[in-house]
A and B are shown apart, each in its own frame.
Chain A
Amino acid sequence: MPLELVETGQEQATEQEYLWTLNFGPQHPATHTTLRLILTLDGERVVKAVPDIGFLHSGFEKLGEDLTFNQYVTVVDRMNYISPIANEIAWFHVVEKLLGIELTPRCKYLRTIFGELMRLHDHLLNVGTSALDLGAFTPFLYAFYQRELIYDLCEYASGQRFHGSYLRVGGLLYDVDDAWIRKLREFLNGFPKAHGDIARLLSRNRIFIERMRGIGVLSKEDAINFSCSGPVARASGVVRDLRKDEPYLAYGELRDAFQVVCSDAGDCYARYLVRMEEMLESIKIIRAAVENLPGGPVNVGVEGKAVLPDKNATYRSIEALIQHFELIMTNRGYPAPVEEVYGAIESPNGELGFYLVSDGTDRPYRCRTRPPSLIHFAVFPHLVVGHQLSDVVAILGSLNIIAAELDR
């Protein structure tokens, strides 16, 4: 039930004796992975929430300092494992910015298509599970069926369903073929119906709306002050989308194909609606990208000395074989500028950036991730105060916290 935000009386209430503490997580169905909240409650009303995170900390950034740019892709995949290829796009966006590699047009379009598929992937999961947490099971199944189709596309293209490890410096692991394009078109044709099914079950569902509307309101000023980005910020009226504002890949050429979805309500329902509409915009981008998909090579040429030659060339020509060994052997590698660079893309969750420091080798000296989940979760204690215990789940779901990215 939406509560009126009268004064929460936080200062006053903490002195009273009937406050009780509830330990929420680390293992709880609504946290989806492991994160812990220590909630101070006045009856069912949350007076204070203290997050305790780090249960999934695996030292990804330390690990990155020991891996080459290409090897780190498998680790990057596991940050936001809901949309793995979007993380890869962010990582290689920064690596290629450091190395100064200009991608081929085909690669740009293919990466754009995968980036948008990952946005669908992420938003579907978020909408599905946030509905599931509020008791609606069917939309979750509809969403997961569509995610399954995207997994099939990933598997077809990269050989792996879950963690694609599909990108490489200067290109992709494999090019896609016509059969993949056919499968993608089938998916695009089927998706609007599934999206409509989910929307019909949720968007005007009275129970769902009453659990979401007016809950966890984030004002525009707070969204900027708390460094929020992506759907969370756009639902609060921050008109900012890196795909439009700082176009990367093929978004500059496709800028007329899509619009930025915004809302000014800033509550959980607005975040849900923004994600739902963004999915339709993603479909438009993918359609436009597939129709305009350029031919030609998918990887940049081997002259750059940083790019793995494709397997056919490796087996058939001496130059490519040498290049392959130069890149693969541990005592070889290629020089990179002794510089540092920050770059970011619009991942499904918000601005996903990397601060990459290079000491001149093909291994990062330091690779800091700017994880949107961490930054959004820092807002959570601010959003939840004054709401009911049951709203904790709604707010947590609407922020889309992926604990692997949160803790890295």
Chain B
Amino acid sequence: MDHAETLQKLEQRFGTLRTSEFRDNLRIIVRPDQVAEVLRFLKEQLGFDFLVDITAVDYLHYPEAQDRFGVVWCLLNTASGERLILKTFLNEPDLTLPSACSLWRGADWMERELYDMYGIVFEGHPDLRRLLLPEAFTAFPLRKDYPLRGRGERHNFPVITRAES
């Protein structure tokens, strides 16, 4: 898939962008404050109408990593079949990003899952609650500093007897 035209239009609008390529994946790396604008431009001007996935990576133990978290939007243009990956990096304590829910309604649960697993807050999300884990859960388990093995979070939860239920 030829990305040249997309890249050219993006650079016209936003100046020179950091990009990287691996296999057929083209990644565009932007600052967190650019995300909302770039996503809107990609959707409305360049026809990336399909949000494939939003995910995050915790680079805590990653070799030569500069930043703590990476957030990734995988986009697809359903008309041309072109795929693009938008990526940004976040560092504590400011883990906020703009929500993409106003552009793609499919972003709703994906963002909730990221909040659930990484504690990344999406501003402007209509209903940012935990998705998979219970509300009483206090940790963000997909972070690399959360242990893989252990007794879990059982001690944090209240025990409800049959009489109370």
State whether A227 touches B63 (Cβ < 8 A): no
Q: Whole-angstrom distance from the CB of A249 to the nearest CB of chain B?
A: 16
Check if A183 is an interface residue, CB within 8 A of chain B.
no
Partner of A375 from the list B49, B109, B130 (CB cut-off 8 Å) is: B109
State whether A62 touches B52 (Cβ < 8 A): no
Partner of A54 from the list B57, B134, B142 (CB cut-off 8 Å) is: B134
What is the predominant secondary structure among interface residues of chain A facing chain B?
A: mixed
Check if B98 is an interface residue, CB within 8 A of chain A.
no
Q: Whole-angstrom distance from the CB of A111 to the nearest CB of chain B?
A: 19
How far apart are the CA atoms of A382 and B106 in the complex, in Å?
Answer: 11
A246: chain B residues at CB < 8 Å are 81
Check if A114 is an interface residue, CB within 8 A of chain B.
no
The residue in chain B whose Cβ has the minimal distance to the Cβ of A63 is: B148
How far apart are the CA atoms of A298 and B132 in the complex, in Å?
Answer: 40
State whether A65 touches B53 (Cβ < 8 A): no
Q: Whole-angstrom distance from the CB of A226 to the nearest CB of chain B?
A: 4
State whether B50 touches A224 (Cβ < 8 A): yes
How extensive is the interface on chain A, given as a class?
A: 35 or more
Work out how many contacts link A and B, with CB atoms closer than 8 A.
101
**Which of A127-135, A142-150, A263-271, A360-368 forms part of the interface with chain B?**
A360-368
A365: chain B residues at CB < 8 Å are 57, 61-62
Task: Mark interface residues in A53-91 (1 if CB within 8 Å of B CB, else 0).
Answer: 110010101110110000000000000000000000000
Check if A305 is an interface residue, CB within 8 A of chain B.
no
B72: chain A residues at CB < 8 Å are 342, 355
Q: Whole-angstrom distance from the CB of A369 to the nearest CB of chain B?
A: 9
B117: chain A residues at CB < 8 Å are 61
Check if B46 is an interface residue, CB within 8 A of chain A.
no
A377: chain B residues at CB < 8 Å are 109
State whether B57 touches A357 (Cβ < 8 A): yes
State whether B58 touches A227 (Cβ < 8 A): no
State whether A227 touches B51 (Cβ < 8 A): yes
B141: chain A residues at CB < 8 Å are 59, 62
Chain B, 1-56, CB within 8 A of any chain A CB = 22-23, 25, 49-53, 55
Tell whether A225 pairs with B62 under 8 Å between CB atoms, given A65-B148, A245-B81, A378-B109. Answer: no
How far apart are the CA atoms of A375 and B50 in the complex, in Å?
Answer: 12
Partner of B52 from the list A59, A66, A97, A227 (CB cut-off 8 Å) is: A227
A382: chain B residues at CB < 8 Å are 105
A375: chain B residues at CB < 8 Å are 106, 109-110
Tell whether A53 pairs with B52 under 8 Å between CB atoms, given A61-B142, A227-B106. Answer: no
Tell whether A355 pairs with B55 under 8 Å between CB atoms, given A65-B148, A378-B109. Answer: yes
Check if A240 is an interface residue, CB within 8 A of chain B.
yes
How far apart are the CA atoms of A365 and B65 in the complex, in Å?
Answer: 13
Q: Whole-angstrom distance from the CB of B96 to the nearest CB of chain A?
A: 21
B108: chain A residues at CB < 8 Å are 378
Tell whether A227 pairs with B57 under 8 Å between CB atoms, given A54-B134, A97-B23, A355-B74. Answer: no
Tell whether A226 pairs with B23 under 8 Å between CB atoms, given A246-B81, A351-B52. Answer: no
B residues at A contact (CB < 8 Å): 22-23, 25, 49-53, 55, 57-58, 61-63, 72, 74, 78, 81, 83, 85, 104-110, 113, 117, 130-134, 141-142, 146, 148
